[in-house]
Homo-oligomer: A and B are copies of this chain.
Amino acid sequence: MNTELMRKLILQVAVSLDGLIEGPNGEFDWCFMDQDYGLNDFFKQIDTLFIGRKTYELMLSMGENASPGFPKFKEYIFSRTLEKVKDDAILIKDDVELKVKKIKNETGKDIWLFGGGSLTTSLMNLNLVDELWLAVHPLVLGGGKPLFTNLNKPVELKLMDIKTYSTGLVFLKYSVK
């Protein structure tokens, strides 16, 4: 398998300086919305989203407000418990490793690992995540949901790129070694 030609699976997410993706009550209102922070360039690089069950249900409940300004992406929903998902999405219930490897080998742009924490942890543990792009916000939440929980082992990274914004947001890009 020539991994150079494979579609990359990219975890791109906003975190607090202390590595949390949500506050203690699920808050994500601390995420900066004042500018693009490279998101539109990222949108050109991807065509597919990987979404965990909880995140999917949250997005459903928010309706069109869940992903304002997003182009139409192909969506895979990962869940062991759901029996069906919305018509224009694809449910992945089992054989995650096999199916994700197959998708990554298909022709297409890169894939956004959209979240949440459980799916992210599973795919990291399966060694299927290629890059981490973290928008580090200038605050400490001090409690809430961590980016990863219970990885099988530490994962070494290679710093690819770093960009600093006047708002204090620092965008860090790493590849998984």
Give A residues with C-beta under 8 Å from B: 15-20, 23, 30, 121, 124, 132, 134, 136, 138-143, 146-159, 162, 164, 168, 170, 172, 174
CB-based contact B17/A174 at 8 Å: yes
CB-based contact A139/B162 at 8 Å: no
**Which of chain B's residues have a CB closer than 8 A to the CB of A172?**
17, 136, 170
**What is the CB-to-nearest-CB distance from A124 to chain B, in angstroms, rounded to a whole number?**
7
Copies of the protein in its oligomer: 2
CB-based contact B155/A139 at 8 Å: yes
CB-based contact A170/B164 at 8 Å: no
Q: A142-B124, A148-B140, A174-B138 are in contact. Are A154 and B30 (CB under 8 A)?
A: yes
